Amino acid sequence: MNTLNAFIGTTLNEVNSKENLFLESQQQENLYSKLCNKEASIALVGLGYVGLPIALEFANDFNVIGFDINQSRVDLMNNNIDPSGEVSEEAFYNKNIVFSDNADCLTEAEMIIVAVPTPIDNQKNPDLTPITKACTTIGKTLKKGNYVVFESTVYPGCTEEVCIPILEKFSGLKYNVDFKVGYSPERINPGDKIHTLTTIPKIVSGSDKESSEVIYNIYNHIIKAGVHLAPSMKVAEAAKIVENTQRDVNIGLVNELSGLFERLNINTHDVLKAAGTKWNFLNFYPGLVGGHCIGVDPYYLIHKAKCVGKELPIISSTRYINDKMPSDVVSLIETHLEKAGKKIENSKILILGTTFKENVSDLRNSKPAEMAQIFKSKVKELHIVDPLASAEEMRSYYGLNLSTVIEENYDAVIYAVNHDEFDTINWEFIENISAESAIVLDFKKLLNVPSYMKKNLKYTTL
Ligand SMILES: NC(=O)c1ccc[n+]([C@@H]2O[C@H](COP(=O)([O-])OP(=O)(O)OC[C@H]3O[C@@H](n4cnc5c(N)ncnc54)[C@H](O)[C@@H]3O)[C@@H](O)[C@H]2O)c1
């Protein structure tokens, strides 16, 4: 019979066609069938954007315990409400799940999946506090035969070097003898209704042959798009960071180019459209890179590289370019206002959209919000409109107020985040609310602009 090695690193289709062979393993059958027979439970630690959808998906067929330290979030979930606003109320119906903020609930679980945040600190170094705290909590309730699978994004080696020693310390148990570990990075894309948990291929890995089999089968149970078994946890950790770093670098490149083309009076989107007619040109567009993944994960890699004495100049420069985009946008507007004979300190500015990306309510690590903060310190009047953002969060995170009405006579209109709610915004509307010689900055070139513009307006994109 084929061994697990035959699957390692194989393509998704190859893996899928061989999936049933995994069932041959006696060890795997024990835990997997225990879960299927509801003789064992899965616990999710951290029920945010990543953890809650996983918990609810597993809860279709398995017994699931959802644990989160945030009591108010747990209260909402107990009332079928996703505090992150990603999951519908119906998704909570008919599920085998209990939510708790009491860590004792973890004693009931045989498999524990960790999806806590992995942010960066003020110095842009990995802040492993949430994940180490979660490991301490799990370690205290860990039992022989348990599995711990990490989904939080970390640098290659973090699971083995940081997490496992904490689990061993607080449990008194021996890794790979008494308990097993796995790493399976999450690839969900908040706000995206097409690429969802079950429709995105999932990478899994285990700490040994047996755990790789078990973890593979458990995820394969819910992931329709198939599961790819990585040869080690380090490979799986690196794969996740590389996906986001690649995206960051590509956006950084077009951001750098857009700064140049602005000075050359060439529209970047027109250039990209023309260049995109070549078969191997990659379509990336300028933009503000924020959120918890693309703008954060490369710093985890930079940190790990430093630890082993390696510099990452491309990735580091990209972070510099993308991190300064909010102030670049403010400078761009300032320059245009000056050209129109206006002073930024006397200007009235409107920003449409401030969450970190379109169709999400999340304001954390939002570059449009950072940009708004810079404008606030410079302009006479700033109006920020975002139908998805919470006014309370906007105030507490950024000290900014959201406006509920759009006025007229704006010297600059910045269409920053294209929420579906803004679909009705068209050029005529922008024209009506703009002052004479105003600048309209349409980040993603969404507006259909006529060749003749009234009011001597200036239109530009990123
Ligand atoms: N949001 C995304 O799009 C996305 C996509 C892929 C991967 N990731 C990664 O997944 C991980 C989780 O991200 P998220 O967006 O779901 O975070 P989140 O902030 O939405 O949710 C994290 C949850 O964990 C809880 N928590 C924090 N510390 C805890 C602890 N010690 N014990 C129990 N619960 C704890 C918080 O209360 C919160 O509810 C991060 O590593 C992130 O980089 C996120």
Residue 227, CA distances (Å) to 15, 99, 154, 230 in order: 7, 27, 20, 10
| Same-domain check for residues 22 and 156 | yes
End residue of a domain, out of 192, 225, 242: 242
Q: What is the pLDDT of residue 294?
A: 94
How many domains in the chain?
A: 2
| Same-domain check for residues 209 and 311 | no
CA of 118 from ligand 1 middle (Å) equals: 7
Instruction: Tell me which residue has its CA closest to atom 24 in ligand 1.
Output: 46
Q: What is the pLDDT of residue 86?
A: 87
Q: Which atom of ligand 1 is nearest to the CA of 73?
A: 39
Q: Which atom of ligand 1 is nearest to the CA of 297?
A: 43
CA of 352 from ligand 1 middle (Å) equals: 27
Residue 424 in tokens: 């009705």
CA of 86 from ligand 1 middle (Å) equals: 13
CA of 116 from ligand 1 middle (Å) equals: 4
Q: What is the pLDDT of residue 5?
A: 43
| Same-domain check for residues 95 and 181 | yes
**pLDDT tens, residue order, the chain (462 aa):** 333 444 445 444 444 444 444 444 544 457 888 999 999 999 999 999 999 999 999 999 999 999 999 999 999 999 999 998 889 999 999 999 999 999 999 999 999 999 999 999 999 999 999 999 999 999 999 999 999 999 999 999 999 999 999 999 999 999 999 999 999 999 998 888 889 999 999 999 999 999 999 999 999 999 999 999 999 999 999 999 999 999 999 999 999 999 999 999 999 999 999 999 999 999 999 999 998 899 999 999 999 999 999 999 999 999 999 999 999 999 999 999 999 999 999 999 999 999 999 999 999 999 999 999 999 999 999 999 999 999 999 999 999 999 999 999 999 999 999 999 999 999 999 999 999 999 999 999 999 999 899 999 999 999
pTM: 0.90
| Same-domain check for residues 224 and 335 | no
| Same-domain check for residues 377 and 316 | yes
CA of 285 from ligand 1 middle (Å) equals: 27
| Same-domain check for residues 204 and 305 | no
As for ligand 1, residues whose beta carbon falls within 6 Å of it are: 45-51, 67-70, 73, 84, 115-118, 130, 133-134, 137, 151-153, 186-188, 190, 292-293
Q: Which atom of ligand 1 is nearest to the CA of 362?
A: 20
Q: Are 184 and 203 in contact (CB under 8 A)?
A: yes
End residue of a domain, out of 220, 242, 264: 242
CA of 365 from ligand 1 middle (Å) equals: 14
| Same-domain check for residues 61 and 180 | yes
Residue 257, judged by CB atoms within 10 A of its CB (0-12, 13-18, 19+), counts as middle
End residue of a domain, out of 189, 209, 242: 242
| Same-domain check for residues 277 and 230 | no
The secondary structure of the chain, three-state, reads: CCCHHHCCCCCHHHHHHCHHHHHHCHHHHHHHHHHHCCCCEEEEECCCCCHHHHHHHHCCCCEEEEECCCHHHHHHHHCCCCCCCCCCHHHHCCCCEEEECCHHHHHHCCEEEECCCCCECCCCCECCHHHHHHHHHHHHHCCCCCEEEECCCCCCCHHHHHHHHHHHHHHCCCECCCEEEEECCCCCCCCCCCCCHHHCCEEECECCHHHHHHHHHHHHCCCCCCEEECCCHHHHHHHHHHHHHHHHHHHHHHHHHHHHHHHCCCCHHHHHHHHCCCCCCCCCCCCCCCCCCCCCHHHHHHHHHHHCCCCCHHHHHHHHHHHCHHHHHHHHHHHHHHHCCCCHHHCEEEEECCCCCCCCCCCCCCHHHHHHHHHHCCCCEEEEECCCCCHHHHHHHHCCCCCCCCCCCEEEEEECCCCHHHCCCCHHHHHHHEEEEEEEEECCCCCCCCCCCHHHCEEEEC
> Structural domain of residue 238, as residue ranges?
4-242
| Same-domain check for residues 170 and 306 | no
Instruction: Tell me which residue has its CA closest to atom 11 in ligand 1.
Output: 152
Task: In whole angstroms, give the CA distance from residue 210 to residue 151.
Answer: 19
Residue 115 in tokens: 């999806």
Residues classed as catalytic: 293
Q: Are 89 and 80 in contact (CB under 8 A)?
A: yes
Q: pLDDT tens for residues 181-210?
A: 999 999 998 888 889 999 999 999 999 999
Which residue from 186, 237, 301 has its CB within 8 A of the most atoms of ligand 1, so it is best to mutate? 186
CA of 307 from ligand 1 middle (Å) equals: 25
Q: What is the pLDDT of residue 374?
A: 98
Q: Which atom of ligand 1 is nearest to the CA of 50?
A: 16
| Same-domain check for residues 130 and 194 | yes
| Same-domain check for residues 178 and 289 | no
Instruction: Tell me which residue has its CA closest to atom 13 in ligand 1.
Output: 117
| Same-domain check for residues 449 and 388 | yes
Instruction: Tell me which residue has its CA closest to atom 10 in ligand 1.
Output: 152
Q: What is the pLDDT of residue 28?
A: 47
Q: Which atom of ligand 1 is nearest to the CA of 83?
A: 39
- Residue 390: give its domain's CATH number: 3.40.50.720
Which residue from 49, 74, 289 has its CB within 8 A of the most atoms of ligand 1, so it is best to mutate? 49
